[in-house]
Amino acid sequence: MNNEFKPYIPADKVLPEMTPTSIVMGLILAVIFGAANAYLGLRVGMTVSASIPAAVISMAVIGVIMKKDSVIESNIVQTVGSAGESLAAGSIFTMPALFIWAKEGIMDKPSLIAITVIALFGGLLGVFFMVPLRSALIVQEHGYLPYPEGTACAEVLLAGEEGGSSAKSVFMGMGLGAFVKLIVDGFMAVQGVVVLKIEALKTEFAAEVYPALISVGYICGPRISAYMFAGGVLGWFVLIPAIVTFGGDIVLYPASVSVAELYATGGASAIWSNYIKYIGAGAVASAGIISLIKTLPLIVRTFVDSIKSISKAGQISYERTALDLDIRFVLAGIVAIIIAIWLTPVVPVTFLGAILIVIFGFFFSAVSSRMVGLVGSSNNPVSGMTIATILIATICLKVSGDVGVHGMQGAIAIGSVICIAACMAGDTSQDLKTGYILGATPKKQQIGEILGVVASALAIGGVMILLDYAYKFGSDKLAAPQATMMKMIIEGVMNGNLPWALIFIGAFISISVEILGVAALPVSIGLYLPLELSSTIMLGGLIKLFADKKFGSENGESGKGILFCSGLIAGEGIVGVLLAVLTVVGLTDKMDLSAIIPTGNIQALILIVLVSAAVLKSAIRKKK
C-alpha cells in the first residue's frame, strides 16, 4: 500500500460532496453523454471518454457560476456523468447484432425492456466488482498504474480549484485540443490520419493527428507507449507483409476473396480488418489471462480482507477517504443479480449459467480495470475481451445443444452483460483514481456510479431503438463494426467455420512476449488497435522521454506538461461529444468544408508537428 500519498482534501476534512446539485447535474450528463457516444461508437467504432468533459462542465457550473468551493462535489458530477458513456460503449459493441438479425428476418427486434434490463445487469455488476478491487488497483498500485484519464481528470479539477498558472496550462491545452478536433472532425479541413504506403513491404504506416493520443502517450510515459507501438509494428510490419507475401491467390477465411485481391482492393487496412484483428483479439485475451494470474494473489487478498470486514462491521473506524460501500450490500446485490439473470427471459441461461456470467464478469472487470490503468478508458480494447466471452459462451451453448435463434440470442445477451460490466469497471476505476487523488469519499463515488448506471440504462434502450429506426444498424451510416464482428463470430462458431488459427497465433504471440520478460498486455493492445493509434501514442511517449532527459522529470501528477496534456484530452473530448450531438441533429454536414479545402498528408503532418511542439513547450522547465 502507498502510505506516503496524501490527497488534495485531507481525510479529516469534510466538504459538500454528494449534494442534490451534483446528483442532478451528473444524471443529466450521464444521459447526454450516453446518447452521444452511442451514436459515435455505432458510426466509427470508438467512443470518447466522458469523464474529463463532465469534470470540466461541473467545474464551470459549480465553481464559476454557482460560486461554490468544493472540488469533490464537482468530482461527484463527473463520476455520475461518465457512467453513461461506458454503459453506452458496452451496449453498442454487442446488442446491435440483435437488430441486424431482425433485419435479416432471423428473429424479432429486441424490446425496450430487454435492452434496459441487460444494460442494468451489466452496469451494476461492473460497479459492484470494483468495490473489493479498489484497494488493490487504486491504492496499493498508486504510482505503478498511471490511469491517464483519471489523473488528467483530477488535474483539470485541481486547476479549476487552484487557479493561477495551473489553470492556465489546462485551459490552454483545452483550447488547442478543442480547436484541432473541430477543424479535423467538425469542418473536415484537415484529414484525421496521415497514411504513407510502403509498397516494398506490402503495408503502410499511419498516424492520427488527434492531440488526445499524444497526451495519452505523454501521460503513460515512454515505456508503456513503446510496448504498445511494438505491438503495432509487429502487426503492420511483420504479420501483414507475411500474409500478403505468402497468401497470394489463396482465399483465407474470414475473407471471401484471395489475399492478393483483398490487398489490391483494400490495401493493408483490409488485411488488418480481416486477419490481424482476430490475431490481436487472441493476444488480448491471452494477455488478459496472464495479467489476471499475475495480480490474482493481490486481488484475492484484498477481496478476502473485504469479506473479513463483515464480521468486524461497526468495530472499525475507517478514514473517510478509505470508506467503501458495505461489502454485505455488494454481495447481496451480486446474488440478487445472479437470481434476476436466471429468472429473466431476456438472458436465456440456467442458474449455473447465471453464476458463470458473474464469474466471467468479475474476471474481465478486473482485467479491464487494470487495462485502463495502463492506456486509459478511450483505448481500452473491451471488444477484444468481449470477443473472448462471445467465443466461450457460443461454444458452451453449442455443446449443450442450444443452437439456432435461441442460442444466438443467449450468446449476445451473455456477451452484452459481461462487456458492459467490463466497460463500467474500467470507467469506475478511472473515477475512483480521480477521487483518490482529490480526497473524495469512495463510498459516495460508488453510490454515484450506481445512480448513473440506472439513469443510463433507462435511456440507452430508447436511444438504440431510435437510431436503428433512423439509420439502420449495419448500414453505411451506422456500421456498428464491433457488433457486426460479434455477429460474425457467433455465426462462425454455430456453423463451425471460425478462424481458430488466427486467434491462437495471437494467444501464443502474447505468451512469447511475456516469456521474454516484457509486459504482454500493452504489446497485445498495440497489436489489436490500429497502428495509427499506437504510433501517435508513441510520439507522446517520445516527447515525454526527451523532456525528462533534457529538463528533468516532472514532479508526480503536478507537472505543467501533464496539466497541458490533461487540457488537450479535455478539449478534444468536449468537442467530440458536441460533434456527436450535432451529427445526430444533422448539422455536421453543413459544417463540412472538405469539398472546398484541399486535404492531404502535408496538412495533417504540419498539424501533428504543431501539436507536438506545443506539448514539448509546455514540458520545458528548469532542471532540478
- Dump pLDDT digits (tens) for 285-296: 788 788 767 767
In a domain? residue 4:
no
In a domain? residue 280:
yes
Alpha-carbon gap, residue 356 to 351, rounded angstroms: 9
Burial class (CB in 10 A: 0-12, 13-18, 19+), 403: middle
Phi, psi at 407, each rounded to 5°: -65, -40
Angle of helix 404-438 versus helix 351-375 axis, rounded to 10: 40
| Residue 110: all three cell numbers together | 429486441
Q: Are 150 and 431 in contact (CB under 8 A)?
A: yes
- pLDDT on residue 577: 76
Phi, psi at 244, each rounded to 5°: -70, -40
- pLDDT on residue 538: 95
Q: Are 552 and 623 in contact (CB under 8 A)?
A: yes
Listed in sequence order, the residues at least 6 apart from 67 whose beta carbon sits closer than 8 Å to its beta carbon are: none
Residue 243 — very low, low, confident or very high, per pLDDT cuts 50/70/90? very high
Q: Are 380 and 126 in contact (CB under 8 A)?
A: no
pLDDT of 116-136, one tens digit each?
999 999 999 999 999 988 888
Phi, psi at 620, each rounded to 5°: -65, 125
Asked whether residue 488 carries a pLDDT value surpassing 50, the answer given is: yes
In a domain? residue 364:
yes
Strand partners of residue 197: 204
Q: How many CA atoms lie within 13 A of 390 on its CB side?
A: 32
In a domain? residue 552:
yes
Asked whether residue 79 carries a pLDDT value surpassing 80, the answer given is: yes
Q: Are 360 and 421 in contact (CB under 8 A)?
A: no
- Establish whether the linkage from the previous residue to 254 is cis, with ω within 30° of 0: yes
Alpha-carbon gap, residue 128 to 342, rounded angstroms: 18
pLDDT of 18-70, one tens digit each?
999 899 999 998 988 888 878 777 876 667 677 777 777 777 777 666 667 67
Task: Write down the H helix ranges in 163-276.
Answer: 164-181, 211-220, 222-234, 240-247, 259-271
Domain enclosing residue 33, as ranges: 20-585+608-619
- pLDDT on residue 434: 93
| Residue 390: all three cell numbers together | 462471445
Name the residue with cell 489523473: 151
Could you say which DSSP state residue 145 is in? B
In a domain? residue 527:
yes
Q: What is the CA radius of gyration of the chain?
A: 23
| Residue 269: all three cell numbers together | 487496412
Alpha-carbon gap, residue 142 to 454, rounded angstroms: 30
Alpha-carbon gap, residue 276 to 254, rounded angstroms: 11
Alpha-carbon gap, residue 31 to 41, rounded angstroms: 15
- pLDDT on residue 156: 81
Q: Are 196 and 184 in contact (CB under 8 A)?
A: no
Average pLDDT, the chain: 85
Name the residue with cell 435479416: 104
pLDDT of 432-454, one tens digit each?
999 999 999 999 999 999 999 99
Asked whether residue 429 carries a pLDDT value surpassing 60, the answer given is: yes
Asked whether residue 195 carries a pLDDT value surpassing 70, the answer given is: yes
Alpha-carbon gap, residue 511 to 284, rounded angstroms: 10
- pLDDT on residue 558: 46
Alpha-carbon gap, residue 276 to 239, rounded angstroms: 8
- Percent of the chain as helix, strand, coil, to the nearest 5: 75, 5, 25
| Residue 146 or residue 261, greater confidence | 261
| Residue 166 or residue 623, greater confidence | 166
Shortest CA distance to 59 belongs to which of 86, 22, 31?
A: 22
In a domain? residue 590:
no
Listed in sequence order, the residues at least 6 apart from 476 whose beta carbon sits closer than 8 Å to its beta carbon are: none
Shortest CA distance to 481 belongs to which of 102, 195, 119, 96?
A: 96
Q: Are 322 and 384 in contact (CB under 8 A)?
A: no
Task: Write down the H helix ranges in 310-403.
Answer: 327-343, 351-375, 382-399
User: Maximum CA pair distance of the chain?
Assistant: 72
Q: How far is CA 46 from CA 85, 89, 380, 391, 482, in A?
A: 11, 8, 10, 22, 9
In a domain? residue 597:
no
In a domain? residue 190:
yes
- pLDDT on residue 349: 85
344 backbone φψ class: left, alpha, beta (φ>0; ψ -120 to 50): beta
Q: Are 41 and 88 in contact (CB under 8 A)?
A: yes
Whole-structure pTM value? 0.77
b/e sequence 183-198, b meaning 16+ C-beta within 10 Å? bbbbebbbbbbbbeee
Name the residue with cell 479535423: 184
Alpha-carbon gap, residue 81 to 543, rounded angstroms: 32
Shortest CA distance to 423 belongs to which of 144, 127, 134, 28?
A: 127
User: Number of helices (H) and strands (E), helices first, in the chain?
Assistant: 24, 2
Q: What total of structural domains would you count in the chain?
A: 1
| Residue 382 or residue 468, greater confidence | 468
| Residue 386: all three cell numbers together | 468481449
Q: Position 515: which residue type?
A: I
Listed in sequence order, the residues at least 6 apart from 514 whose beta carbon sits closer than 8 Å to its beta carbon are: 287, 290, 520
Q: Are 520 and 514 in contact (CB under 8 A)?
A: yes
Q: What is the signed CA dihedral for 614, 615, 621, 624, rounded to 10 degrees?
A: -170
SS (H, E, C) 226-256: HHHHHHHHHHHHHHHHHHHHHHCCCECCCCC
- pLDDT on residue 95: 93
pLDDT of 323-349, one tens digit each?
899 889 999 999 999 999 999 988 888
- pLDDT on residue 402: 83
pLDDT of 273-284, one tens digit each?
889 988 988 888
